[in-house]
Homo-oligomer: A and B are copies of this chain.
Amino acid sequence: MTTRVEQKERTRRAILDAALELSAESTLAAVSLRQVAKQVGIVPTAFYRHFDSVEALGLALVDESFASLRTMMRDIRQGDPALADIVDRSVTILVDHVHDQRAHFAFIARERGAGPPEVRAAIRHQIELFERELATDLARLPGTDVWSPEDLRVLANLIVTAMVATAEAILAAERRPDVEKETVERARTQLRMVLVGALNWRSQP
């Protein structure tokens, strides 16, 4: 026995999952409404009961994907800041979440560059918000009080860029643990390099 809203939500989920899966080969822009419908097991026209278009579907997926990203961010904040192993912990959490939310991360990585303009813009905006949050987090770290707000934003941007690249590399590593381990180790080293740079910032020209 199923209530009406339950059933609708279930179908909606099925559509989202189908789109996630189908877009994995290339792009959401290359996914047709009919493909999604077939995969879900509904008739094409029923799609419109849930989304106005495939693009609207894409925007919903962006929301969903970044919601899981925020969960990750919360996890990272969860620990003692100013801890020595903050780098290791952050990278580990990132890796775990990429494994956990593989489809979502892959979706963002793909649609960030390709994908309908609106979707692209939405992703860009979310990443920017992300950077801002990281910047305020960094401001709470000891030793950053001599930093200008702009430099903090610049640093946050660099870190986010590196982490996005790391996530993409992990996705590309697919099921090769050795490659992945190398990627993770690289990310840790890079973060440390950046931190060394940060700590010595403004002490030289």
Contact = CB atoms under 8 A, between A and B. Distances in A.
B193 A195 contact: no
Nearest to A157: B186
Nearest to A189: B154
Nearest to A26: B29
Contacts of A21: none
A27 B198 CA distance: 38
A30 interface: yes
A155 B189 CA distance: 9
A3 interface: no
Contacts of A164: 165
B190 A201 contact: no
A157 B197 CA distance: 16
A22 B175 CA distance: 34
Interface in A36-76: none
Given A110-B114, A124-B172, A196 B204 contact: yes
A113 B63 CA distance: 19
Interface string A82-118: 0000000000000000000000000001111111110
Contact of A161 (B114, B161, B200): B161
Contact of A201 (B26, B124, B196): B196
Q: Which among A124, A154, A164 has the highest number of chain B CB atoms within 10 Å?
A: A154
Contacts of A112: 113
Given A197-B197, A200-B200, 14 more contacts: A27-B114, A29-B30, A30-B30, A110-B114, A112-B113, A113-B113, A113-B114, A113-B168, A158-B162, A158-B193, A158-B194, A193-B194, A197-B198, A197-B200
